[in-house]
């Protein structure tokens, strides 16, 4: 939105957008039509693009789309059991999910990345033996690298569990134990905290 009254959907991110956006550092300008010239930022990446017949320029709108996609992939999370995988491979919202218990809600292993699993495929058969294939089909937060990139806190006298990402500062996830209420929101600068390994 340019005026906070008329809203339109962003187009889906492409691999090219993601690759270009990773080259950019610093804060957003606030103008969707602003163009970043990669020759000033990363001469090697710009040279590769020019050789491929593409312009070494990316608009802020494309950078925003790519950043949202990166944030969703990296820190978009759901509680364990909120979604189920059918034997046919489709994923659905679990209508029987009544929320995590307070004890479970305090554990990082009770939360999953809501994206295509990566680490799950690398687990041994022995590690997979204890997993329920209908609910444990996503990657758990407890194996995130670097370790310690999540902060778990209890709010309102233990009635709300809040997870904050230290990798994407400004990402806050909440879950009300014993209810179906959960969600996440991002209020940040759109910059990944690349210094996190040195801060832990």
For residue 22, what pLDDT is reported?
Answer: 83
- pLDDT category, 199, cuts 50, 70, 90? confident
Q: Where are the alpha helices (DSSP H) in the chain?
A: 15-23, 38-41, 43-51, 60-75, 102-105, 125-128, 196-199
- pLDDT category, 173, cuts 50, 70, 90? very high
Domain boundaries, the chain: 15-74, 77-198
Residue 169: is it exposed, middle or buried by C-beta count within 10 angstroms (0-12/13-18/19+)?
middle
Could you tell me which of 85, 118, 112 has the C-alpha nearest to residue 100? 112
Residue 11 to residue 16: CA distance in whole angstroms: 13
Query: pLDDT tens for residues 109-127?
Result: 889 888 887 766 666 555 6
Query: pLDDT tens for residues 61-93?
Result: 888 899 989 888 888 889 988 888 888 878 888
Is residue 148 a contact partner of residue 200, using CB atoms and an 8 Å limit?
A: yes
In this prediction the pTM is 0.77
């Amino acid at each position: 939105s340019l005026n906070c009254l008329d809203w339109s959907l962003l187009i889906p991110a492409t691999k090219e957008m993601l690759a270009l956006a990773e080259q950019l550092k610093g804060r957003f300008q606030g103008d969707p039509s602003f163009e970043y010239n990669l020759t000033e930022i990363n001469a090697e990446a710009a040279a590769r693009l020019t050789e491929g017949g593409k312009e070494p320029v990316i608009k802020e709108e494309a950078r925003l789309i790519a950043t949202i996609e990166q944030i969703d992939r990296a820190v978009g999370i759901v509680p364990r059991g909120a979604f189920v995988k059918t034997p046919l491979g489709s994923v659905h919202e679990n209508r029987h999910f009544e929320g995590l218990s307070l004890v479970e809600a305090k554990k990082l292993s009770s939360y999953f990345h809501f994206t295509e699993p990566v680490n799950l495929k690398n687990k041994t058969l022995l590690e997979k033996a204890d997993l329920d294939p209908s609910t444990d089909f996503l990657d758990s937060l407890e194996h995130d690298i670097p370790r310690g990139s999540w902060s778990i806190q209890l709010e309102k006298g233990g009635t709300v569990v809040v997870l904050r990402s230290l990798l994407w500062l400004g990402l806050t996830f909440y879950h009300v134990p014993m209810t179906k209420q959960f969600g996440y929101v991002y209020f940040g600068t759109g910059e990944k905290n690349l210094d996190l390994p040195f801060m832990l």
